Structure 1
């Protein structure tokens, strides 16, 4: 099975039942954000299908949440990133790999809100390497919180191979 494709037993691609798993997961995240429903505990605490919204933060005690933060990986395994408008104008930390789903349309397209990565002090985390040319993966470990931005990106979800849910947070984003 290759990224984004299902093969039948004989190895021929099944065009009639083709579904993109990233598309389905992002659709599920949107549904969970829209409709919180109680379920029993799940074994993986960052499972994107975990309900209700807020369980990725604290499954044993419900916490107010309106966003399931997630990342996407491209077909080459690198994190998908997008630019956001930096409102403090003090620096150029305007790239993020963290998103909130805003809408899904035309089957597998989505509008994603770019989330600003923050450290445990509430300061922006600059995800770029020293040259400012690539995402430095070790900097992702410094991110513990997120802030909403006014920047959105429209994507074709079938172009991605993986989605990873990070955390449920309250951003006060109106739907």
Structure 2
């Protein structure tokens, strides 16, 4: 049995909704191309006004308590956690390999204790890949928030 946060409701709740969204994001990233599609029925990643063609749709996962999920990452600041992720792989059982991303402003890692806020409010904020990966059971999350599509080198 999964750790689904909505298992006591009598509605038509889809226990795999977060899994479905992450699966769709993974498909978008796998189909990312340096040239936009000419077909309007094929979804694609949209680039930010100052980025190259996007290859990543970053997102934040929310726990049962409503807090952003965090993973530990190597850091040059005292903030050695990240709540922003890129999906690297996902299987049919809703297990996913995620890569934590860090926020960078002015070519330095953001030291703000709330890097999500920095990324959302500063147009010059960019995300960089870390060398960390985490495997998660996506049925354990109650929410997901997608952030603006971006280009991350070597992805």
Q: Normalization by structure 2: what TM-score?
A: 0.76
> How big is each residue's C-alpha offset from its partner over 1:54-113, in whole Å with a ceiling of 9 and x where there is no partner?
x2635xxx9511111111000110000111112xx4x32321110000001242010000
1:157 corresponds to: 138
Q: Secondary structure of 2:130's partner? A: strand
**Does the CA-based 8 Å contact 2:98-2:135 persist in structure 1?**
yes
Q: Does 1:115 align with 2:101?
A: yes
Q: Give the length in aligned residue pairs.
A: 142
**Does the CA-based 8 Å contact 1:39-1:52 persist in structure 2?**
no
2:23 corresponds to: 27
**Runs of 4+ with >6 A deviation:** none
Report which structure shows greater RCO (CA 8 Å, sep ≥6). 2
**Does the CA-based 8 Å contact 1:4-1:21 persist in structure 2?**
no
> How big is each residue's C-alpha offset from its partner over 1:23-80, in whole Å with a ceiling of 9 and x where there is no partner?
000000000111245537xxxxxxxxx9311x2635xxx9511111111000110000
Give ranges in structure 2 of 5+ residues lacking alignment. Answer: 120-124
Q: Normalization by structure 1: what TM-score?
A: 0.68
Q: Does 1:167 align with 2:153?
A: no
1:7-156 matches, cutoff 5 A: 11=10, 19-36=15-32, 38-39=39-40, 51-53=43-45, 55=46, 57=48, 63-86=52-75, 89=76, 91-119=77-105, 121-128=106-113, 136=114, 139-143=115-119, 144-156=125-137
- Higher Cα Rg, which structure: 1
**Does the CA-based 8 Å contact 2:95-2:135 persist in structure 1?**
yes
**Does the CA-based 8 Å contact 2:47-2:54 persist in structure 1?**
no
CA distance in structure 1 between the partners assigned to 2:112 and 2:82 by the alignment: 7
Query: Aligned Cα RMSD in Å?
Result: 3.0
